[in-house]
Amino acid sequence: MTKKQVLLFLVLSLLLLSFAPVTVQADNGEDSIEVYFNDPGEETRDRTLQNMILSDIDEAQERIYIATYNFTDTRSGEALQEAVRDGVEVRLVIHSENADSDVIRSMEKAGVKVVTSNSDGLMHSKFIVIDQDITISGSANMTPGSFFYDNNYMIRIVSSEVNAIFRDEFNEMFLDKKFGAASPKTEPAPILTLADGTRLLIRFSPEDGVEDSLLSLIHASKESIYVLAYSFASDDLGQALIDRYDDGLDVIVIFEGEKAFTDGGGEAENLQRAGVPIYLDGSDDNLMHQKVFIFDESVVSAGSYNFTRSAETRNDEQVLIIQNEAIVNAFLEEFDKIYADSK
């Protein structure tokens, strides 16, 4: 382990050990953090994610910057066109193979500025930066599938510090045209403390070494590690979970059923063979598209980052590591709901 990794391990261990309850909203009305989940099982479309995003688009005053793997949602596209007509600067970064949809073409005609990725990996990030203070980050693409049919989450943060960090990452792609393995190595953001007491680490892949952060948290955990995995093919993360299970920790991994045993190099079989409790999500129609670690029921890692080698070394991804009681409890409830329907 390098000196940098040792330091990260110590910092994140301190983060875990110093956990104290906080609230989701700041008393002073400034910084705040909330998490939103959709429910694909509802009889009518659950518009929770779409409505949250549309509301912030409608309220934007200066800028809306979006990085997304795919964009086919007509309502969101129309809202962004309306924002351009209202004088808001709207910019979009999208994976090159998904840049030719009707929605994208309509937005470009209306004045939305679009940049496509130019790397051999995926532009797989999913975040939105609005004005000077709002950031939305999570697992959902800007598509009806992500909003209505697949299990997803989006985390909304009001913080000028967080906004500036994500804005820099966006500009790296939009202005500098740096994607994937060409992303410049910069000093990763430090642990941020929001006004409401939330502690937050922001990590981007591949430049920030997300896997090292996750391994540090796995090794620092004392009691439990719960995982929601759309795609899991990292040998190192898989072995670390096996090791901690052997140490006596409560380790549970829920996989997306369609991918668990079909992903090339997937870890489901290795974990199962080692005795780690694994489950498949219970839906045959929808994707369990989440990418979540919950450590000791006190810290959660969530973002666009699947637990794969490509996500670590080639794709553009974002991850939030959050210490906030209400946020962690919300993810625990989501985990329990998916676990109850798993098989």
pLDDT at 52 over 90: yes
Q: Which domain holds residue 221?
A: 3-13+21-340
Using alpha carbons, select from 52, 63, 119, 131 the residue that is nearest to residue 91. Answer: 63
| Chain centroid offset of residue 306 CA | 9
Mean residue pLDDT of the chain comes to 91
Residue for token pair 């002073």: 28
pLDDT tens string 79-89: 999 999 999 99
Q: Tens digits of per-residue pLDDT, 91-147?
A: 999 999 999 999 999 999 999 999 999 999 999 999 999 999 999 999 999 999 999
Q: Whole-model pTM above 0.85?
A: yes
| Among 15, 71, 46, CA closest to 151 | 46
Average pLDDT over residues 14-40: 62
CATH for 261:
3.30.870.10
pLDDT of residue 310: 96
Model confidence pLDDT, tens digit, residues 181-236? 999 888 888 999 998 899 999 999 999 999 999 999 999 999 999 999 999 999 99
Give the separation between CA 201 and CA 314, rounded to whole angstroms: 21
Of 26-40, 142-156, 251-265, give the range with the top mean pLDDT.
142-156
CB 140 within 8 A of CB 146: yes
The count of structural domains within the chain is 1
Q: Are 324 and 33 in contact (CB under 8 A)?
A: yes
